[in-house]
Amino acid sequence: MKKLPTWIQEIFGEESVDSTLSFFFIVLLVLAFKSSVLDANNIPSGSMLPTLKIGDFLFVNKMRYSLRLPFTDIELKRYDDPKRGDIVTFIPPDGAVSPEEKEGWFPKRFVKRVIGLPGDRIRIVKVLHERDGFPTVYGKIEYMEKGKTDFSAYDFKDEEKGNLFDDLDDDAAVQYYLFKEKKPDFEHYVIEGNTRPYTHEFKDAECFQVTGCVIPEDHYMMMGDNRTNSSDSRFWGFVPRDNILGKAALIYFSINWKDHVCAYKSAEDLGQNGDSAQKYDPEEFRSKCGDIGSNMNWFKSTIFYRIPRMQVRWYRIGTVLE
């Protein structure tokens, strides 16, 4: 191996330089592994509640579907495709985020569930349903696989909240209802009960018509499990296969920062009773949560308010995702 210049060895010492180069080589290998094999992602929003909670940290299997060139999104070899119901990470399609958010050192990536496959005809039917004596709406998803003539459906059933809503860190989601939706091989939780009508606000409005919409070849339909608050294919269309980066595999850590529910005295009360749960008075709120009307920076807010009120969701660590 070619030796380093004498002047570098004289300044730093040969052993020191070798150790530094070895360290950077190891860091490079770790980053390459993260880029192409097993990535780590965090969940900043509530679009996948209650399956993925705000503050969850995930391992994502980047080699589940394809082999990609390290430090890029270039696909070298594709050996599998996402299945119906998979939770995947992907590059947002055009129109989902601004071009600036898709690029740079920390590009925005989405985590959603695969609802429709290439060639599927998708029909979302507004089902009037009664929960706790009140009428609500469930967007039932029906699909006709390519080459078939009949629709199948992701059937749903009522589920009680139990303690699933106690630590969502989302004061909007707790206002709705919990269901279980059936995929071909498993069931998963869904938050639904949106009373607003399905209208032209959706990009693919024909998906809500009797004939449904057809997913183009090499594209997938994605939706969040929190159907009441998810930016997904209903709003910005289908996702190209090239954009899909990996499959969510495991929750390795989880923190409830209580950023959105800090005003409420009891997580259990909020989870069961929604916005009618008891809140702190203004003075108590300022002492526990900070003055939300001030210009307090993120660092100061985290040190003095977020860290003292945070809770680690120990029970979620090691959860295998499906």
- Mean pLDDT along residues 159-186: 92
Lowest mean pLDDT among 58-62, 118-122, 206-210, 310-314: 206-210
Active site (annotated) includes residue 161: no
Nearest-5° angle of CA 305, CA 310, CA 315? 180
Measured distance CA(269)–CA(267) in Å, rounded: 5
Lowest mean pLDDT among 18-32, 157-171, 221-235: 18-32
Q: What is the pLDDT of residues 204-255, one digit of tens each?
A: 578 888 899 999 999 999 999 999 999 999 989 999 999 999 999 999 999 9
* Structural contact between residues 178 and 159, judged by C-beta atoms closer than 8 angstroms: yes
Q: Which of 225, 148, 218, 128 is nearest to 183 (CA)?
A: 225
Structural domain count, the chain: 1
Catalytic residue among 47, 230, 233, 254: 47
Residues in Cβ contact with 317 at an 8 Å cutoff, skipping those fewer than 6 apart: 251, 252, 253, 254
Measured distance CA(178)–CA(157) in Å, rounded: 9
Compare 29 and 45 and report the one with higher pLDDT.
45
Residue 302: per-residue pLDDT: 85
Indicate whether 187 pLDDT > 50: yes
Active site (annotated) includes residue 112: yes
Q: What is the pLDDT of residues 71-104, one digit of tens each?
A: 777 888 899 999 999 999 999 998 888 877 877 7
Q: Which of 246, 219, 227, 225 is nearest to 122 (CA)?
A: 219
Residue 75 lies in a domain: no
Residue 137, φ and ψ in degrees, nearest 5: -125, 135
Residue 122 lies in a domain: no
How confident is the prediction for the chain on average, in pLDDT? 86
The structure's pTM equals 0.87
Residues in Cβ contact with 18 at an 8 Å cutoff, skipping those fewer than 6 apart: none
Residue 284 lies in a domain: yes
Give how far Cα 248 sits from Cα of 35, 44, 47, 52, 61, Å.
14, 15, 15, 10, 6
Residue 141: per-residue pLDDT: 95
Helix (H, G, I), strand (E, B) or coil at 82: coil
Measured distance CA(263)–CA(265) in Å, rounded: 7
- Mean pLDDT along residues 16-20: 66
Measured distance CA(171)–CA(201) in Å, rounded: 24
Measured distance CA(249)–CA(274) in Å, rounded: 31
Q: Which of 81, 96, 98 is nearest to 219 (CA)?
A: 81
At residue 300 the predicted structure's pLDDT band, cuts being 50, 70 and 90, is confident
Q: What is the pLDDT of residues 280-291, one digit of tens each?
A: 998 898 888 876
Q: What percent of the chain has pLDDT over 90?
A: 55
Catalytic residue among 112, 230, 247, 258: 112
281 is in which domain, residue-wise? 260-320
Residue 34 lies in a domain: no
Residue 51 lies in a domain: no
Residue 275 lies in a domain: yes
Residue 303 lies in a domain: yes
Residue 155 lies in a domain: no
Residue 1: per-residue pLDDT: 47
Lowest mean pLDDT among 29-43, 147-161, 234-248: 29-43
- Mean pLDDT along residues 163-170: 92
Give the start-end residues of each E strand in the chain: 38-42, 56-61, 66-68, 75-78, 87-90, 110-116, 121-131, 134-144, 152-153, 156-159, 177-182, 187-192, 213-214, 219-223, 239-240, 244-256, 311-312, 319-320
